[in-house]
Structure 1
Amino acid sequence: MTLRRDMIDVVGTGFTVLDRLYADGDFTAEALGGSCGNVLVSLAMLHRQVAPVLALGLDEIGEQLLAEFETAGADTRYIHRHAGRRSPVLRQELDTRSGQHSFSFTCRDTFEEYPRYQPIGHEELQSATAALENCALFYTDRLSPAILGAMAQANSGGAIIYFEPSEIDHSLFADALAITSVLKYSSDRLGPELDDMVAASGAIAIVTYGADGLELRHGYERIWSAAYPVEQVMDTCGSGDMVSVGLIDWLLARASPRLSRLGIHDLMGGVAAGQRLAAENCAFAGARGVFQQRDVAYVRSILARARCDFPA
């Protein structure tokens, strides 16, 4: 089976912000960020067909986020700009000696609250119907009624549903889990709430344990995958996003990326690619430092080495 020529590789929506990075107390850079933003723009830079579905403000920050997606090669027709809305901003404080970071929605100079992320609504959902029904994979890291509707539309078209929640919305989560193909979550943050529920579902789970590695689960089957050694740690921010980028890119490289016949052993190649990319990214400041400070050919070489170890 081959993908239809008009099929989009990835449609995604979720947490997308302008990251303002302060390293060791000094302002360093600002760039598109947030888990959804990082994953989608990275895949676009890897020359995947990517269509973000977002609701941003008709402001300078919204223009900057839109421009970064356009520069990366993403299809930006489903990014909606709204007058009277402010596009979201997130501050990251980085200690490069320890590689530790923290986040804040407050300006460090004026103490003003930055505008927060707002999910898509009915307008954005309706505009993206054709893309959702013709994508190979749908990605999200947030839930809302409209995002659940987007998941359902993509699922009805046969897409892989890749869901990476940072918190649980109990009013929507059970319905989302029922159509999720791959669920990636932190053991520390969400494990106590999700482990039993996910084990009883049909989703393949990727449960992360920080610097130690991650575990793949399907039902009650388990495979442990230790993290790759990291020679230099400047910033661990974005490591989880890079795991998702490597795995999604690997899935899209298969002749048929559908998961109906795949088990957790089949995903090991993609997980290895993502973990290698995450390890490389730790040597650079910023959630996508390896993309910003090296070129795409270098990133492709990292992913290719993992693919040689685990052929598709």
Structure 2
Amino acid sequence: MTTLTEKPSIFGTGLIALDLVIGIDSHAPVHSWTGGTCGNILAIMSYLGWDAYPIARMNGDPASERVRVDLARWGVHLDFTDCAPTGHTPIIIQQIKRARDGSPTHRFLWTCPHCGERLPSYRPVTQNSIEGILPAISNSSVFFLDRVSRAAISLAAEAARSGAVVVFEPSGKSDEKLFEEALQIAHVVKYSDQRLSDAGGAMTGDRATLLEIQTLGSQGLRYRHRLAGASSDWTNLAAVPAPRLVDTCGSGDWCTAGFLMNAASAGIQGLKQMGEADLENALRYGQALAAWNCGFEGARGGMYALDRQEFARQIDAIQSGKPVLRIVERPQSSETSVACPACPREISAA
């Protein structure tokens, strides 16, 4: 008799946006892909073979429909993407350019380049909208959040009670009280030294944090843990060299996803049973994915350029120390453009 094995699942809430990526070639079409830390990580986890469930407030506007179509392309489950009250999906414009030394740089625009109005921004799901979602997360392996809200904290707490690994990647301190509540619940806290260095010390007192990761940009990352009870010293991991440097955007999301794939499929009990070598290997796999991602425009551009077999071959090559980055052109479907909600003119996207 054949036994069916359920795939591990990840639920998440936070920044799920539409990225409009303007590449170095100004004559090339603008790419419109799902973005935001939460959106990227859930899409990547589905790409890596997990069941992924974003929790959001999409209202059916053109930006949200593009996000839904894109997520569905990668097998992401859309059951909880229209929580009431719905609202406009955030839109973020990313411009990629070259610095004087030839290195790639990128900047993010939060206002419409045509009318000057601010583009739709993030709005969290509400406490009233999550009652029907709480039972669904009882069998999840991971719950992810990158923005704090009362509803996000409630979802994370329920996931933790059910044995999931709660991962918190703060982008800022919008609410001190909720921020501290998230730190009390999260098992894995990952943050950038450039954006939120004051999140350091997450693994203190009675907080649930078992693993604290501080990313250091081109210098790699450092981490400490208390999987065995006592807190370890900080361990530094140098960055994995990128085979090609086109755009660094989204590489941190790939690092998180690669780590979770190897460390969190069995929930919190599996994470607690990891040894030092297993933990480092999981982080190094995440770093390999981050290095690979640098070879493509956009936070997840490589997913659109390569099939899964070629992706796996290239990651294996990076891990073996013999990186190769071969672009395999895949047919791109023509899609309608997305307009700024406040502006009658459209931002051309393909």
Alignment of 1:140-289 (within 5 A): 140-168=145-173, 169-191=175-197, 193-200=198-205, 201=207, 202-218=209-225, 219-252=231-264, 258-262=270-274, 265-289=277-301
In the superposition, relative to structure 1, how do residues 124 and 73 fare at CA in structure 2: closer, same or farther (>3 Å)?
A: farther
In the superposition, relative to structure 1, how do residues 138 and 81 fare at CA in structure 2: closer, same or farther (>3 Å)?
A: closer
Partner of residue 332, structure 2? none
Partner of residue 117, structure 2? 112
**Deviation (angstroms), 1:23:** 2.1
Q: Deviations over 1:163-201 (max 9, x none)?
A: 11111231112221122111110112222x222343444
Give the Cα separation in 1 of the matches to 2:179 and 2:236.
26
In the superposition, relative to structure 1, how do residues 212 and 199 fare at CA in structure 2: closer, same or farther (>3 Å)?
A: farther
In the superposition, relative to structure 1, how do residues 13 and 197 fare at CA in structure 2: closer, same or farther (>3 Å)?
A: closer
Partner of residue 347, structure 2? none
Give the Cα separation in 2 of the matches to 1:255 and 1:104.
37
Q: Deviations over 1:226-264 (max 9, x none)?
A: 001123211010010110111111124569863233365
Give the Cα separation in 2 of the matches to 1:255 and 1:84.
31
In the superposition, relative to structure 1, how do residues 190 and 66 fare at CA in structure 2: closer, same or farther (>3 Å)?
A: same
Whether 1:12 aligns to 2:12 is: yes
> Could you tell me whether the CA contact under 8 Å between 1:277 and 1:299 is conserved in 2?
no
In the superposition, relative to structure 1, how do residues 157 and 13 fare at CA in structure 2: closer, same or farther (>3 Å)?
A: same
In the superposition, relative to structure 1, how do residues 261 and 103 fare at CA in structure 2: closer, same or farther (>3 Å)?
A: same
In the superposition, relative to structure 1, how do residues 51 and 175 fare at CA in structure 2: closer, same or farther (>3 Å)?
A: same
Partner of residue 125, structure 1? 130
1:137 to 134, 142, 145: 142
Amino acid at match of 2:33: A
Which range moved further: 107-116 or 270-279?
107-116
Indicate the SS of the match to 2:177.
coil
> Could you tell me whether the CA contact under 8 Å between 2:83 and 2:125 is conserved in 1?
no
Taking only aligned residues, the RMSD between alpha carbons, in angstroms, comes to 2.5
Which range moved further: 155-164 or 101-110?
101-110
Q: How many residues align?
A: 305
Which range moved further: 220-229 or 95-104?
95-104
Partner of residue 72, structure 1? 74
Give the Cα separation in 1 of the matches to 2:265 and 2:85.
39
Give the Cα separation in 2 of the matches to 1:83 and 1:180.
27
More helix by share: 1
In the superposition, relative to structure 1, how do residues 32 and 299 fare at CA in structure 2: closer, same or farther (>3 Å)?
A: same
Give the Cα separation in 1 of the matches to 2:251 and 2:272.
28
Amino acid at match of 2:82: H
Partner of residue 91, structure 1? 93
In the superposition, relative to structure 1, how do residues 303 and 179 fare at CA in structure 2: closer, same or farther (>3 Å)?
A: farther
Whether 1:297 aligns to 2:309 is: yes
Amino acid at match of 1:18: L
Which range moved further: 261-270 or 220-229?
261-270
Give the Cα separation in 2 of the matches to 1:241 and 1:135.
20
Identity value in percent: 29
